[in-house]
Amino acid sequence: MLQTSFLQPRLLAGRVIRASTLSSSISSSTSSSKPLLRLHNTHHYSTTKTPKTFYTLFPTTLPQGPPPTGPFTINLRSLRAEFLKLQQTTHPDLFPPHHRKSAETASAQLNKAYTTLCSPLLRAEYLLTLRGYTDPSSDETHKISDHELLMEVLEANEVLEMAGDEGELVELKVKNDKRIKECIGRLEELFEQDRLDEVRVEVVKLKYWVNVAEGLKHWEPGKGVSLQH
């Protein structure tokens, strides 16, 4: 029996990479209207007007900034290398006690930025918020209006629920990986052309297929998978 809860996509938070002594808290602010904190050297920090976005935290990997001036696709290997290097400069233990709280905040912001930019889905939603769109995760466009898409989602959900072993999921995984790749390619084009209304539609599709990918990842024999909003 199909679970209708799957028809509502959910935002899948990425995993945050932290050094062992970094604060576990993550800044919830993603608005470009609030400057992010930057630390300098090992004993100084400042709340300068820049960086204003997650992109400006990684000037080596993302020198052109966010789309449409810069590409949507990111070199994740380069991003990770720059992230690890920056982590060392924001480690709270490098700062005197009266600056450590600010250092923890900076580390949390860096982790949040890295997590967001690593995920095409989170990255696309973040870019929409930078351009003034309301929270994409609660947008009315998340309701499926495309009949063909609806049928594909129902079919994927049914396969996940009815599969008896992993072999029965191979075809779905291949199809779903292709769908995700196509969505990302489409987002690259749309962001480059600054067609944000169409970006919102594509993000809805990507959200569903990422949700299916999570279902495939966590599927277990005899348990199937339960995908909820």
Distances (CA, A) of 56 to 38, 82, 106, 181: 10, 12, 14, 26
Domains and CATH numbers, the chain: 135-218 (1.20.1280.20)
Nearest to 35 by CA among 17, 14, 56, 19: 56
Q: What angle do CA 61, 66, 69 make, to 5 degrees?
A: 100
> Does residue 150 carry a pLDDT above 50?
yes
pLDDT tens digit string along 49-82? 544 899 999 999 999 999 999 999 999 999 999 9
Average pLDDT over residues 157-166: 89
Residue 154 has pLDDT above 70, yes or no: yes
CB-neighbour burial class of residue 212 (10 A; exposed 0-12, middle 13-18, buried 19+): buried
pTM: 0.74
Mean pLDDT of the chain: 77
Average pLDDT on 22-39 reads 40
